[in-house]
Amino acid sequence: MSIRIQKFYYGDIPEEKSGAFMPSSMANEASSGWPLWEVFIRSKQGLDHKHAGSLHAADAAMAIENARDVYTRRQEGISIWVVESKYVHASNPDDAESFYDPASDKVYRHPTFYDLPDEVKHM
Amino acid sequence: MTLHDLEKSFQAKIDAEIKIEPKDWMPDAYRKTNLRQISQHAHSEIVGMLPEGNWITRAPSLKRKAILIAKVQDEAGHGLYLYAAAETLGTSREQMIDDLHSGKAKYSSIFNYPTLTWADMGAVGWLVDGAAILNQVMLCRTSYGPYARAMVRICKEESFHQRQGFDALLVLSKGTPEQKAMCQDAINRWWWPSLMMFGPKDSESTNSDQSMKWKIKRKTNDELRQHFVDMIAEQIKLLGMTLPDPDLKWNAEKMHYDFGEINWEEFWNVVKGNGPCNKQRLEARNKAHQEGEWVREAALAYAAKKAERLQKRVA
Ligand SMILES: [Fe+2]
Ligand SMILES: [Fe+2]
């Protein structure tokens, strides 16, 4: 595709004005540095762990310590999970339409599908 | 689907305000623009620690020192959020760091100006973080999901940065004649470079507005800059100081402040690497990276050894 961004926006110095880089390979090549970890944080007792972001660390202990420094500087969490990103498997967004299709025609799974008389209370 | 169809459905998603996620199909130019912008933004956060780090050991009180450390630590965090967002587009951390250190990748020119007095810590927080916040608030709604999420996190942390800066200046503005003079001097030096942070005038750009169409950006440079001027021109009254622009004047018709012409020659000069501190900043980054090399290696070796031991125990 030949669209070129040439407008110089705040925070985006265009290619011809700098040596802005083009990564040699767009592929997710294994980096020689520390592996990538996904961080999940429980913000409060009773709530689920929620994805907060990712970071690099040499091992799990370091990942947890770094996650504390990066994601909980203002008491945003009381529990941290980390998992090496390579172990996360994801559904394919290209298949989303067919993958989630079976649920789309089953409105009767929702309470609002049932039109009951107003006299029925507490249901 | 043909490329044309893919592009059409991509644009339809953008138009419908549906965020783009890392594994979604996206045009090459969209990927590259985001990559460039997010990594430049990350570099700015990291290099931005240097001018302020300069004053940590010389802060005038323990309270100011603690505040400054907290702010600089936040900026490190911002850099990390953004590097992680950029990595989702298919580059590696090493690649980005290498490009920063070789001078290939850019960062905001504002950090190529020196921080000469303590008052600069106030002016940087108030003006530089203030200008950055306007851009970042807009970016909370940018179309690329990981970038938008990083921005939301960053914006939550930024507002203290601006407030502590104003607070520091407020104290100086009520101090001795020397402190007042120092306060005014810092404002004088940081005002114009802060305005330059918003980039060239909209009229300078003749090319198509692809970044707007893709909703990477939602406001133009001039819109953001005007907003900033209107905000600061009012706030400075509370400091009893002045902005170094004789043309600054309220325009009742436009309901905005008019302001003078920016020195664009200076702007391009600093972008091209000839600012007062470009060389010093890159040297500092390179030195820190090189001196940390053995730590990175040792951590990896330690992790490998621990994993090996665990394996043996299991076997
Ligand atoms: Fe920041
Ligand atoms: Fe900041």
Contact B171, B237 (CB under 8 A): no
pLDDT reported for residue B313: 87
Burial class (CB in 10 A: 0-12, 13-18, 19+), B30: buried
Q: Which amino acid is at B129?
A: D
- Centre of ligand 2 to C-alpha B80, Å, is 13
- Distance, in angstroms, between B177 CA and closest chain A CA? 37
Tell which wins on pLDDT, B204 or A6.
Answer: B204
Residue B168 CB-half CA count within 13 A:
29
H/E element holding A30?
none
Residue A23 has pLDDT above 90, yes or no: no
Distance, in Å, from the CA atom of A65 to the CA atom of A62, rounded to the nearest integer, reads 5
Collapse the DSSP code of A84 into the 3-class scheme (helix H, G, I; strand E, B; otherwise coil) and give the result: strand
A71-120: pLDDT as tens digits:
999 999 999 999 999 999 888 888 888 888 888 889 999 999 999 999 99
Distance B82 CA to ligand 2 centre (A): 13
For B29, residues 6+ apart whose C-beta sits below 8 A from its C-beta are: A1, A3, A4, A5, B210
Chain-chain contact of A10 with B198 (C-beta, under 8 angstroms): yes
User: B164 CB contacts (<8 Å, ≥6 apart)?
Assistant: B67, B71, B125
Strands (E) across chain A are located at 36-42, 49-56, 79-84
Q: Does A36 touch chain B (CB under 8 A)?
A: yes
Q: Which of A15, A21, A55 to mutate to test the interface with B (most CBs of B within 10 A)?
A: A21
Tell me, what's the pLDDT at A12?
A: 56
- Domains of chain A are 23-109 (3.10.20.520)
**Chain B contact present for A89, CB below 8 A:** no
Q: Are strands A36-42 and A49-56 parallel, antiparallel or unpaired?
A: antiparallel
The shortest C-alpha distance from A96 to chain B (Å) reads 10
**pLDDT value at position A10?**
53
* A65-69 average pLDDT score: 96
Which residue's entry shows tokens 């302001």? B259
Q: Which of B150, B221, B307 sits opposite A10 (nearest CB)?
A: B221
Average pLDDT by stretches of 10, chain B with 315 residues: 91 97 93 95 97 96 97 97 95 94 94 97 98 96 97 94 98 98 98 95 73 92 96 98 98 97 95 92 96 94 92 85
* Cβ–Cβ gap A33/B93 under 8 Å: yes
Q: Which ligand is nearest to the CA of B136?
A: 1
Residue of B nearest to A67 (CA): B77
pLDDT of residue A32: 57
> Three-state DSSP class for B199?
coil
- Which conformational region is residue B288 in: left (phi greater than 0), alpha (psi within -120 to 50 degrees), or beta? alpha
Asked if residue A68 lies in contact with residue A82, where contact means CB atoms within 8 angstroms, the answer is no
Rounded to a whole number, what is the distance in Å from the CA of B41 to chain A's nearest CA? 6
